[in-house]
Amino acid sequence: MFKNRNFLLGLGIGLISGGILLQLMLIGTSGQAASNISNDLDSLTDAQLESYAAKLDMQVYPKETKLYTEQELQEKLVQQETKLKASQKPVEQPAAAKNAESKSDSSPAKEESDSKVSKESNDTKDTKETSLRITSGVTLTQVSKELKRLGLISSVTDFVSYGKKKNITANLQTGTYVFVGTPTYAEIAARITEKSK
């Protein structure tokens, strides 16, 4: 059939056996490399480990540092907010002091207390922290829906059209962002498109 049948058969067997031997050598060296890496990590100082982690865009924390998941962070923020609200409640005045105030000019005092309450409510609204998490592969529409759910924007379509004008979609960065109060569209856009340092 073929003139050089034996030659081609030998060439094929040689290529196959060479490929198998190459794979065996690669498996052997990767096992040695893994053991060398674990030995190297044991001998690193904290500063060296942090510098290597920084090169890989990672962070190293001591064991004692408490790290929170997204859900734990939300629970912690809610707890702190309730504690803050509880500490801001006015202290009950004795009945005699209340009667003395009511006999005196009550309308200006009432207006002052109303203005204080409205200022306090505005302060609490302005200091409300809301966190947004953006994961890889999320679209601008999905981010807008999440912002709407969190109460940071009033309209999903308005923010999407604003984002298309400002080309936010191409620059979305993954991460967790904390917004204080009610930010503007420009502030939100600047925050979710800035590169982490």
Please report, for the chain, the start and end positions of each structural domain, with discontinuous segments joined by +: 5-55, 129-193
**pLDDT per position as a tens digit, 66-95:** 777 888 888 888 888 888 888 876 555 544
Residue 110: is its pLDDT beyond 70? no
pTM tops 0.75 = no
What is 129-193's CATH number, 3.20.20.70, 3.40.50.150, 3.30.1490.480, 3.30.1050.10?
Answer: 3.30.1490.480
pLDDT band at 41; cut points 50, 70, 90: low
Residue 182: is its pLDDT beyond 60? yes
pLDDT band at 55; cut points 50, 70, 90: confident
Cβ neighbours for 178, distance < 8 A, ≥ 6 positions apart? 129, 130, 131, 132
Residue 144: is its pLDDT beyond 60? yes
pLDDT band at 21; cut points 50, 70, 90: very high
* Residue written as token pair 């981010």: 143
The per-residue b/e assignment along 167-193, b for 16 or more CB within 10 angstroms, e otherwise, is ebeeebeeeeeebeeebebeebbeebb
Ranked by mean pLDDT, the top range of 8-22, 35-49, 90-104, 137-151 is 8-22
Give me the pLDDT at residue 136, please. 80
